[in-house]
Structure 1
Amino acid sequence: MNEKINWRPGCDLAVLHLRARLMRALRAFMDQRNILEVETPLLIRAANYDLNVQNILCQDESADPRPLALHSSPELFMKRLLAAGTGPIWQLCKVFRKGEQGSYHNPEFTMLEWYRPGMDVQGIADESLALFQHIRESLGFAPLPVHRISYREAFETVTGINPHHADAKTLAFWASKHELNVHQPESLDRDQWLDLIMNERVQTRFDANAYTVISEFPASQAALACIRNDEYGTPVAERIEIYQGALELANGYYELTDPAEQRARFEYAAQQRRQNGQPELVVDARFLAALEHGLPDCAGLSVGIDRLLMTLTGETDIRRVLAFDFERL
């Protein structure tokens, strides 16, 4: 009977060796730049501020009324370390996101995250690209060319629509006209339409043999990033994403340091969660206290390590680069 149970890993053993070499190259890169490696808790007491991410809740026998969950990012703890004066830091950890399962997603995955005081978002984008090229060279792969384009330019090239000014109705009409049909389209807001069109029609045109850096996101998608005016006077988020083909590898911000603005964004996220019927947002008071103390001007960036490994192996399914994916638990 046991012979019929699939106990084997989901990836080839050669992929495990390649992953180990990738990790060695990554650590060498960070060591060369004197960036401090840190560890922070996997368990959190504050719900996620990102409306697109759901935490995996844990059973908790303590008297603390706040829910306990597995983190979806080490960001807030790492910023508390920055406020304490660590200087540049990086972390490699497992993160967890409920319901994320598919060719590019697994509920548990490996994330690299690092922060650079005194650096802007373009600087950390450049450092991320240098890391990717270093890893490729260390593992015997040729470097890739880099394309840089703003969110506005990428979106307008495909749709003819300015994403910073279009309303939900305009975006929904374009999507319907181009056979992007969704269940209950009236339930989607402007940002959800932007995400849908970007994911299904814009990113799919990115060069599979190059890194594409997208910058100047809509201000409504700033999350924990600063907002500034672009060359047209339009507010944009100081945020970047890096892709190889349609696969997102990295997401970086010039980090928000204003505690009042951060609290306002948390309160807005809490309101949206209530309207969407999502679990209540517990504001992270310790994180806000760290901002009050003073978070240095800095940029931060996260990388999906499993996806990066996919680009090196040529695999198109994340399960083929994991020893044991969610279905093998």
Structure 2
Amino acid sequence: MQTINYQPTCDISALKARAKMYAQIRQFFAERDVLEVETPVLSQAGVTDVHLASVQALRHMGGKQRTHYLQTSPEFPMKRLLASGSGAIYQICKVFRDNEHGRKHNSEFTMLEWYQPDLSLKDLMLEVTDLLNIVLATRFGEVRPTIYSYKQAFQDRLDINPLQATLKELKDTSHRVGLNIDLGNDRLAYMDLLFSHMVEPSLGFDTPVFLTDFPPEMASLAKTRIDEDGELVAARFELYIEGLELANAYDELIDAEVLRGRFEADNAEREKLGLHVMPIDEYLLAAMPNMPECSGIALGIDRLLMVVQNQMKLEKVLSFTADVS
């Protein structure tokens, strides 16, 4: 008879550390009058981003079977709440991304997402810093994150400007550093290859890093702006600690027509790549005219707990990983 290990993948101490973190987060937002909300996990529309794969679920409504999607983020319904006058809101919830497993990934994970109307990205960085100094106090004491642009990170490590680099220059740089992978003529794929292998692993070891001003092609649902050098960049930042990406923040794009254009462009690329074309969330687009100017951020709770617990593998902070649940 086969022996089955029923026990959790993490120690009980990690479960206690998670409970403590949730209490800290809820107190943090309560003191700032940020409302905790809850939104549906299943939706009739899914994310169109070609780099994200939604988990599909079949359910019956009115006797008819329909394909719905488990959320990759609570972003769309939370924005509908913002457009309905909710004010500042946050949510701690489960999110799902198909076929994501490994040292830093699990297809089901926990996300903290919050939105602050009329808050700039720089002010949001200060708020994130305040939260880090509560959650990470027992490991690091006080942290003082630095701001570092995507462009400067590439220039310091690879001596190229990713905003201006041609496909050939990115290919040549990849070969120069030993990344001999054929990605065809996908310029962004080469940029991501260089970033994930040569830039990201070095970020956030002396102090947490807010990586800012991404290439405009990586704007996703963020606005774009002109940087100090006169170049177009995405108005967003990511948080890194010890080479680990913990959070992704946007100066939120609220133009419905521009958003629709991005969704349609994503789906065109999906079709080209042979991926599932996703239904567009018309409820979200209908909400945009009433959406306030705001900044929003999604933070990976499990990865933050990895930092708190000084763990190298996600399984060490999860009760059960996808392969044993």
The answer to whether the 8 Å contact 1:10/1:324 transfers is yes
Q: Which structure 2 residue ranges, 5 or more long, are not aligned?
A: none
- 1:325 paired with 2:321, answer yes
Which residue matches 2:312? 316
Q: Supply the AA of the counterpart residue of 1:57.
A: Q
The answer to whether the 8 Å contact 2:132/2:143 transfers is no
Q: Supply the AA of the counterpart residue of 1:322.
A: L
1:210-251 CA distance string (max 9 Å, x none)? 201111110000000000111111110100001002100110
1:278 is aligned, of 275, 279, 282, to: 275
- 1:191 paired with 2:172, answer no
Taking the aligned partners of 1:145 and 1:234, their CA distance within structure 2 comes to: 28
- 1:303 paired with 2:280, answer no
The answer to whether the 8 Å contact 1:149/1:213 transfers is yes
Q: Supply the AA of the counterpart residue of 1:35.
A: V
Q: Supply the AA of the counterpart residue of 2:173.
A: W
Taking the aligned partners of 2:285 and 2:204, their CA distance within structure 1 comes to: 40
Task: Report SS of the residue matched to 1:68.
Answer: strand
Q: Supply the AA of the counterpart residue of 1:149.
A: Y
Q: Supply the AA of the counterpart residue of 1:17.
A: K
Taking the aligned partners of 1:111 and 1:296, their CA distance within structure 2 comes to: 23
Taking the aligned partners of 1:177 and 1:235, their CA distance within structure 2 comes to: 27
Q: Supply the AA of the counterpart residue of 1:251.
A: N
Q: Give the alignment of 1:218-297 within 5 angstroms.
A: 218-292=215-289, 294-297=290-293
Taking the aligned partners of 1:118 and 1:145, their CA distance within structure 2 comes to: 24
Normalising to structure 2: TM-score of the pair?
A: 0.96
The answer to whether the 8 Å contact 2:59/2:65 transfers is no
The answer to whether the 8 Å contact 2:200/2:243 transfers is yes
Taking the aligned partners of 1:273 and 1:207, their CA distance within structure 2 comes to: 33
Task: Report SS of the residue matched to 1:69.
Answer: strand
1:158-185 CA distance string (max 9 Å, x none)? 1111111112222122112211132x42
- 1:168 paired with 2:164, answer no
Task: Report SS of the residue matched to 2:240.
Answer: strand
- 1:30 paired with 2:26, answer no
1:66-89 CA distance string (max 9 Å, x none)? 631111000000000000000000
Taking the aligned partners of 2:70 and 2:180, their CA distance within structure 1 comes to: 34
Question: Cα–Cα, structure 1 residues 65 and 272, in superposed 2: closer, same or farther, change >3 Å?
Answer: farther
Which residue matches 2:143? 144
1:204 is aligned, of 187, 201, 204, to: 201
Paired residues, number? 324
Taking the aligned partners of 1:243 and 1:264, their CA distance within structure 2 comes to: 30
Task: Report SS of the residue matched to 1:185.
Answer: coil
Deviates more, 1:140-149 or 1:161-170: 140-149
Deviation at 1:92, TM superposition (A): 0.3
- 1:121 paired with 2:138, answer no
Deviation at 1:140, TM superposition (A): 6.4
Taking the aligned partners of 1:185 and 1:133, their CA distance within structure 2 comes to: 41
Q: Which structure 1 residue ranges, 5 or more long, are not aligned?
A: none
Q: State the identity as a percent.
A: 37
Displaced runs of 4+ in structure 1, greater than 4 A?
63-66
Deviation at 1:203, TM superposition (A): 1.4
Which residue matches 1:130? 130
The answer to whether the 8 Å contact 2:129/2:143 transfers is no
Deviation at 1:209, TM superposition (A): 4.2
Deviation at 1:192, TM superposition (A): 1.6
Taking the aligned partners of 2:217 and 2:65, their CA distance within structure 1 comes to: 31
The answer to whether the 8 Å contact 1:217/1:240 transfers is yes
The answer to whether the 8 Å contact 2:106/2:321 transfers is yes
The answer to whether the 8 Å contact 2:183/2:190 transfers is no
The answer to whether the 8 Å contact 1:229/1:235 transfers is yes
Deviation at 1:141, TM superposition (A): 4.6
Question: Cα–Cα, structure 1 residues 140 and 235, in superposed 2: closer, same or farther, change >3 Å?
Answer: closer
The answer to whether the 8 Å contact 1:241/1:252 transfers is yes
